[in-house]
Amino acid sequence: MDMKRDYYEDIELFKSGTILFWSIVLLVALFVAPVFLSNYHLYLFNLIMVHVIVAVGLNILVGSTGQIALGHAGFFAIGAYGTVLLMTKLAIPFFPALIITAFIASFFGFILGLPALRLEGPYLAIATLAFGLAIMHVIGHMELFGGRQGLMAPTLDIGIPQLGLSWELWTEKSKYYLILIIAILMVLFAVNILKTRVGRAFVAIRDSDIAAEVIGVNLTIYKTLAFAVSAFYAGVAGGLFAFVLGFFDPFTFNLIISIIFLVMVVVGGLGSVMGSITGAALITYLWYDVFKNVDEVPVVGDILLAFSRKFLTASGIDNFNFVALGLVMIGIIIFEPLGIFGAWIRVKKYWKTWPF
Amino acid sequence: MPFEQLLIEGLAMGACYGLFGLAVIIIYKTSEVVNFAAGTMAMFSVYIAFHFITFYGFPFWVAFIASLIFAGLLGVFVEFFFLRPAKNPTLLGLIVITIGVQLLLAGLAGWKWGADQQAFSIPFSYQVTYKLLPGFVVSQWAVAVFIIAFIVVTILALFFKFTKIGTAMRATQQNKYAAKIMGIKTDRITAFSWAFSSVIGVTAAMLITARTILDPEFMMEPFLRAFAAAVLGGLMSIPGVLIGGGIVGLIENFFGYLSPAWKPITAFVIIVLVLCIRPSGLFAKHYVKKV
């Protein structure tokens, strides 16, 4: 079914005509979508695409290289603050600022990757978690970063205003196209990097780092590289996130956000780029839309409101967000450890061999 | 604040972290699960005591016993309904489940009691102080912490050494499959260790509430410190976690005194540095991994 006969078959981008066809349909749909969507939904889509970038990057680290990371909100924060500060304080145009910030983030990823060379399991979890918290506190305590008051993102100008070539993006729709194009590029890069020598080294480290070292994978280089690449993604996404939100403070990038990123990857399916994309879309939609405003959902919302008035407190219904996300996390590991991608594989297998 | 004061306060806070770290490693030793929900489980149980006192008017000690019983049941509940059904979970899977439990309980607590800070006090006040030696001022709270920590550790040591169930727990920790062959019901032992850990956790959390406030988030930072203390001690040894707790408490208190702004993260930074030098903590034997 999935047998590869030669190397070129392994590295081709679209495995079959069907996949090519549906990918094109999806792309066309994404490019046409803004015509039919309201501003709020465009904002939601922007958020989803930003999270898709983070999830795809995190998937390279967690899914493909097998390292646990609980501190990605730190890189995300570096991306957001770096881009905005470079643009406002140093007056660097948007694209160079975004790229410089992403490289700064990946430098921090490299730094975090150094202890990761020696740590694994729970020890790595606490180290990455500490990194995320440390970044949040450093940002919160330095005047340069706006302290606890937070920062306001400047006007999104993707031209070079210094040379008089201004191209300002005001509407959600124009931001949507910018983020969409960057997201597509980042996803393509992720799909391709997993098919190169580097990607195969990552997978080898995940399956057994000792065996990988024995066959000649340089652990020092590739583990830190995985952290750096993943941080690069989070940095780019953070830079875009700053403009989607418009305003942010250090507590935007708290531990919960790191956890949500991890949940996106796990729910989507570890090690699969397509899975990460669906996971990010699903979790973002649930977290920022459905669960957040659960009292406005037709029937369920009324029942929940009545229930919480009777036994709990009516004003606490916002906490349904956390309860539901917790249940999703527990449920996905118990019932479908491979996530959406695993379910998809099962369905595909069932229909391919039907009626047997 | 004089040096002695910082030392005693740091040690007392460290004892709290050590106690809470015990709750983390008891579970880790029996089932290799890092319980990220430990802090929230303890928080929830403290809220049960709060509820008993505020809404039903029970005295503190009755509420305390009720909250211990609730904590035990909660531990068994979490193990039975959330961890046992997962088949061959990976380390990451286990972490995701426990974080899920953490979000679930935090959400429920916020839903029931609101995000506001509640008034909750334990009989050991932080304000009442005793003068032991000239210059050595000890608060009633610190004395209580030391005594309770001593009692809990003694009970634990005796329990693991002399009781049947304690021996069974040690056997399960050493080798689950061999223990199963010897007729130990390892599933029950795991559930029991969750209950046990939860009870120790709520004891520590009660002591910690005296120094902080009671809201659904209040155990998050102490839990992370306690976890850091456990990691520092190597996640496997009981003396290790107590010493780790002491180190974390002292570092935090002394650095926190020098620059209060950086208090929340100094402990973490130092722990990451220690881990870089000794990757599996200060007191764990570093086993060479089998391929």
Alpha-carbon span B290 to A208, nearest angstrom = 11
CA-wise closest residue to B269 among A27, A126, A180, A93: A126
User: Is B118's pLDDT higher than 90?
Assistant: no
User: Is B288's pLDDT higher than 60?
Assistant: no
User: Is A1's pLDDT higher than 60?
Assistant: no
CB pairs under 8 A between A and B: 150
Over residues B179-192, the mean pLDDT reads 89
B92 interfacial to chain A (CB closer than 8 Å)? yes
Closest residue in B to A313 (Cα) is: B112
B47 interfacial to chain A (CB closer than 8 Å)? no
Average pLDDT taken over every residue of chain B: 84
- Measured between CB atoms, which of A130, A320, A330 is closest to B107? A320
Q: Verify whether the Cβ–Cβ distance B97 to A334 is below 8 Å.
A: yes
User: Is A65's pLDDT higher than 80?
Assistant: yes
At residue B290, the pLDDT reads 54
The full set of domain ranges for chain A reads: 44-254
Q: Which of B91, B99, B262 to mutate to test the interface with A (most CBs of A within 10 A)?
A: B99
A-proximal residues of B, 226-255, CB under 8 Å: 227-228, 231, 235
What is the four-CA torsion angle of A146, A149, A155, A156, rounded to 10 degrees? 80
End-to-end CA distance of chain A: 16
Over residues A6-30, the mean pLDDT reads 83
ipTM surpasses cut 0.90:
no
The DSSP output letter for A64 is I
A61 vs A300 pLDDT, higher one: A61
Closest residue in B to A117 (Cα) is: B276
Closest residue in A to B32 (Cα) is: A122
Q: Verify whether the Cβ–Cβ distance B108 to A263 is below 8 Å.
A: no
Q: Which of A138, A251, A334, A338 to mutate to test the interface with B (most CBs of B within 10 A)?
A: A334
A191 vs B278 pLDDT, higher one: A191
Is residue A263 within 8 Å of residue A269, measured between CB atoms? Answer: no
Confidence band, pLDDT 50/70/90 cuts, at residue A228: very high
CA-wise closest residue to B24 among B13, B12, B38, B10: B38
Over residues A329-356, the mean pLDDT reads 86
Q: Verify whether the Cβ–Cβ distance A322 to B106 is below 8 Å.
A: yes
Q: Verify whether the Cβ–Cβ distance B86 to A312 is below 8 Å.
A: no
List Cβ neighbours of B184 (8 Å cut-off, separation of 6 or more): B168, B171, B172
Could you count the other beta carbons within 10 Å of the beta carbon of residue B92? Answer: 22
Over residues B79-99, the mean pLDDT reads 86
Q: What is chain B's Cα-based Rg?
A: 19
Distance from CA of A289 to the nearest CA of B (A): 17
Q: Verify whether the Cβ–Cβ distance B279 to A119 is below 8 Å.
A: yes
At residue B75, the pLDDT reads 92
Distance from CA of A216 to the nearest CA of B (A): 16
A156 vs A332 pLDDT, higher one: A332
Is residue A218 within 8 Å of residue A89, measured between CB atoms? Answer: no
Q: Verify whether the Cβ–Cβ distance B97 to A329 is below 8 Å.
A: yes
B91 interfacial to chain A (CB closer than 8 Å)? yes
Whether this prediction's pTM lies above 0.95 is answered by no
Q: Which of B95, B102, B112, B280 to mutate to test the interface with A (most CBs of A within 10 A)?
A: B95
At residue B287, the pLDDT reads 56
Per-residue buried b or exposed e for A134-157, using 16+ beta carbons within 10 Å of the residue's own CB: bbbbebbbeeebbeeebbebeebe
Rounded to the nearest 5°, which phi and psi values hold at A107? -65, -45
Over residues B77-100, the mean pLDDT reads 87
pLDDT in tens, B203-260: 998 888 888 888 888 888 888 888 888 888 877 778 888 888 888 888 888 887 877 7
User: Is B291's pLDDT higher than 60?
Assistant: no
Over residues A15-22, the mean pLDDT reads 82
Distance from CA of B91 to the nearest CA of A (A): 7
At residue A59, the pLDDT reads 92
At residue A230, the pLDDT reads 92
From chain A, pick out residues whose CB is under 8 angstroms from the CB of B115.
316
pLDDT in tens, A75-125: 999 999 988 888 888 888 888 889 999 999 999 999 888 888 888 777 888
At residue B285, the pLDDT reads 64
Is residue A121 within 8 Å of residue A68, measured between CB atoms? Answer: yes
Q: Token match 């969507």: residue? A: A37
Residue type, A80: A
User: Is A138's pLDDT higher than 90?
Assistant: no
Over residues B182-211, the mean pLDDT reads 89
- Measured between CB atoms, which of B82, B99, B276 is closest to A118? B276
Alpha-carbon span B14 to B250, nearest angstrom = 7
User: Is B194's pLDDT higher than 70?
Assistant: yes
B213 interfacial to chain A (CB closer than 8 Å)? no
The percent of residues in chain A predicted with pLDDT above 70, rounded, is 96
Over residues B18-42, the mean pLDDT reads 87
Confidence band, pLDDT 50/70/90 cuts, at residue B1: low
